[in-house]
């Protein structure tokens, strides 16, 4: 077990990694530029499996766990051959079968994120999951809803090469605002504008939000319920746009070229860069700190694992690494977040029943919900289990910092089933009891 404050890196062979995310059974899945997707055991980083067959696109980028809990991951492929489609579904069991989601033949999806919509009524929240992505070739932000099998396209009229996308949602969970970054491009198709763009609820057009300096190029973007953060170069900065005040604050990274970014379980902002991992107060009130990588190279992709560790990709060294964030000094207040119950479904069910929505929870740190946190959902029961037959599932918090626990299938045992959710074993889980009675 590594000490807090230390980095461990693991070679992934002759593969150049891009992004990574946590999937089923807590495995990490890493996309690469070498027609391979790699499974990494977060408890033993050298324990790996390479999925490398002809159906994997040459360049695979952003990756996300299946939002409906199926045993598969979704990833984007910004530069596949023309005959292949760039949204890829890969099964995480068996022979790791690959299938493509149809877009335009020359489409180049650059990113993929989660969007949750409350489709319930009468005060009962019912989540519907969608994947959103940036498509620069045809200049649109796509919304792919797996349960419908449909894609909605939001055209972007600005002359910009779309790069990344994020979403913010109102307190009802029904009304969304979309955010996208885009860059200039000198090759065909030529694009002339760098920018952060917003599509407000009910609007048909995107507006440019003036947060960049002249010639500054934006890259990755994330959002929570309070702000939007993006990375940019020329100069190298992290930029925070406050949703309440409409004002921007920046943090300079000097010579470090920023890449992907994430919020940690303690509510801080972490940024991967050419020089390592940068930690900032989420409001960018301080200059931040830098954790350099032990063997050189630079960090590109970054995510949080279910035990609270940060994981990153290092394309230069062809490695992935984990960082155990040290606790605050002795006597300082704890910075850990907490999981709390937002809504609870049925508390009693008959044997061999289906409980569609047992629990909705949110993860909160520093007084605000945190997206992108992998919460461990468990059911402690003899006969009852989640709909896939498992008793444990890792689910990533959505743009509002929330997770909806999967459907529970009661068994043929009369019992008190305990349903719980929390950040791995780092905190006491929020829990409820489901009483299962004879039919």
Spatial distance between the Cα atoms of 215 and 75, rounded to a whole number of angstroms: 30
pLDDT in tens, 315-330: 999 999 999 988 766 5
pLDDT in tens, 160-218: 999 999 999 999 999 999 999 999 999 999 999 999 999 999 999 999 999 999 999 99
pLDDT at site 83: 63
* Residue 58 falls in which region: left (phi positive, over 0), alpha (psi -120 to 50) or beta: alpha
366 confidence band (pLDDT: 50, 70, 90): confident
Is the predicted pLDDT of residue 29 greater than 70, yes or no? yes
1 confidence band (pLDDT: 50, 70, 90): very low
Domains of the chain (ranges; CATH) run: 7-323 (2.130.10.10), 338-437 (2.60.40.10)
CB atoms under 10 Å from CB of 411, counted, come to: 17
Q: How buried is 349 (Cβ within 10 angstroms: 0-12 exposed, 13-18 middle, 19+ buried)? A: buried
Q: How buried is 190 (Cβ within 10 angstroms: 0-12 exposed, 13-18 middle, 19+ buried)? A: exposed
pLDDT in tens, 107-152: 899 899 999 999 998 778 899 999 999 999 999 999 999 888 889 9
pLDDT at site 425: 87
Query: Which whole-number Å values give the CA distances from 180 to 4, 19, 53, 172, in the listed order?
Result: 35, 19, 32, 22
101 confidence band (pLDDT: 50, 70, 90): confident
19 confidence band (pLDDT: 50, 70, 90): very high
pLDDT in tens, 39-90: 999 999 999 999 988 888 888 899 999 888 788 999 998 866 666 778 999 9
pLDDT at site 438: 92
Is the predicted pLDDT of residue 3 greater than 80, yes or no? no
């Amino acid at each position: 077990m590594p000490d807090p404050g230390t980095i461990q890196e693991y070679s992934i062979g002759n593969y150049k990694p891009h992004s990574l995310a946590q999937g089923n059974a807590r495995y990490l899945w890493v996309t690469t530029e070498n027609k391979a997707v790699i499974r990494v055991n977060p408890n033993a980083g050298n324990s790996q499996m390479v999925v490398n067959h002809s159906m994997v696109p040459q360049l695979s980028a952003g990756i996300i766990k299946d939002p409906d809990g199926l045993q598969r991951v979704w990833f984007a492929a910004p530069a596949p051959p023309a005959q292949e489609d760039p949204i890829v579904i890969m099964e995480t069991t068996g022979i790791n079968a690959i299938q493509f989601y149809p877009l335009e033949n020359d489409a180049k999806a650059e990113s993929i994120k989660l969007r949750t919509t409350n489709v319930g009524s009468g005060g009962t929240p019912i989540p519907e999951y969608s994947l959103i992505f940036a498509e620069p070739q045809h200049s649109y932000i796509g919304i792919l809803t797996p349960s419908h099998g449909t894609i909605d396209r939001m055209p972007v009229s600005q002359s910009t090469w779309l790069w990344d996308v994020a979403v913010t949602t109102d307190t009802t969970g029904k009304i969304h605002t979309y955010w996208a970054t885009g860059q200039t491009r000198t090759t065909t198709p030529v694009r002339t504008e760098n920018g952060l763009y917003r599509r407000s609820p009910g609007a048909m057009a995107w507006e440019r939000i003036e947060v960049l300096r002249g010639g500054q190029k934006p890259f990755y973007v994330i959002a929570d319920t309070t702000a939007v953060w993006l990375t940019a170069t020329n100069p190298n900065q992290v930029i925070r746009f406050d949703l309440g005040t409409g004002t921007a604050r920046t943090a300079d990274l000097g010579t470090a070229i920023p890449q992907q970014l994430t919020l940690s379980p303690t509510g801080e902002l972490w940024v991967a860069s050419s020089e390592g991992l940068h930690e900032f107060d989420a409001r960018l009130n301080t200059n931040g700190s830098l954790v350099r990588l032990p063997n050189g190279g630079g960090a590109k992709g970054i995510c949080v694992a279910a035990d609270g560790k940060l994981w990153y990709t290092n394309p230069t060294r062809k490695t992935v690494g984990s960082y155990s964030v040290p606790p605050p000094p002795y006597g300082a207040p704890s910075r850990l977040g907490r999981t709390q119950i937002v809504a609870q479904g049925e508390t009693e069910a008959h044997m061999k029943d289906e409980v569609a929505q047992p629990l909705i929870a949110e993860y909160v740190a520093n007084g605000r919900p945190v997206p992108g946190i992998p919460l461990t959902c468990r059911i402690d029961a003899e006969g009852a289990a989640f709909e896939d037959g498992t008793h444990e599932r890792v689910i990533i918090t959505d743009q509002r910092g929330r997770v909806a626990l999967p459907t529970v299938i009661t068994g043929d045992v009369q019992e008190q089933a305990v349903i719980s959710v929390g950040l791995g074993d780092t905190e006491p889980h929020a829990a409820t009891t489901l009483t299962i009675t004879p039919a």
